[in-house]
């Protein structure tokens, strides 16, 4: 009887220790905006959205930094055990320059896409 209790307590303890060691990585979408010469475009408006769904949690806008990169953190929307995350449309505007594309966002990874504005 003592041995059985000991094994149960040991199993619970190990389960808690192993679970607390699991670190959830951030789910990031990184969009680099380039002009026709391949130069990064700072200050471009980058809009990520899920076309036609009305899904507002994936409708967000950022401006590119000095390196032409806009970074979006979707970690708060990730649920453990979730299969797949999202494929989002990208629209970019910088003055009269426009660009578009799509990005497949993978859970607990940094997904990257480059968009050419013309």
The predicted structure's pLDDT at residue 21? 56
pLDDT at 80: 65
Give CA–CA dist 49/28, Å, rounded. 14
| pLDDT digit string, tens, across residues 21-46 | 556 789 999 999 999 999 999 999 99
3-state secondary structure 22-78: CCCCCCEEEEEEECCCCCECCCCEEEEECCCCCCHHHCEEEECCCCCEEEEECHHHC
Does residue 16 or residue 60 have the better pLDDT? 60
Residue % of the chain over a pLDDT of 90: 57
Answer whether 109's CB lies under 8 Å from 27's CB.
Answer: yes
Question: How much is the pTM?
Answer: 0.75
Task: Band the pLDDT of 69: cuts 50, 70, 90.
Answer: very high
Q: State yes or no: pLDDT of 18 exceeds 60.
A: no
Q: What is the mean pLDDT of the chain?
A: 85
Domains and CATH numbers, the chain: 25-116 (2.60.40.1120)
């Amino acid at each position: 009887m003592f041995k059985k209790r000991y094994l149960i307590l040991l199993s619970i303890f190990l389960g808690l220790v192993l679970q607390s060691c699991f670190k959830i990585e951030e789910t990031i979408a990184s969009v680099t905006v380039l002009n026709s010469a391949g130069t990064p475009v700072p200050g471009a408006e980058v809009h990520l959205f899920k076309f036609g769904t009305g899904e507002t949690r994936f409708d967000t806008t950022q401006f590119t930094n000095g390196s032409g990169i806009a970074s979006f953190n979707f970690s708060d929307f990730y649920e453990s055990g979730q299969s797949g995350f999202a494929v989002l449309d990208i629209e970019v505007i910088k003055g009269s320059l426009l660009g578009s594309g799509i990005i497949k966002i993978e859970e607990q990874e940094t997904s990257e896409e480059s968009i050419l504005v013309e």
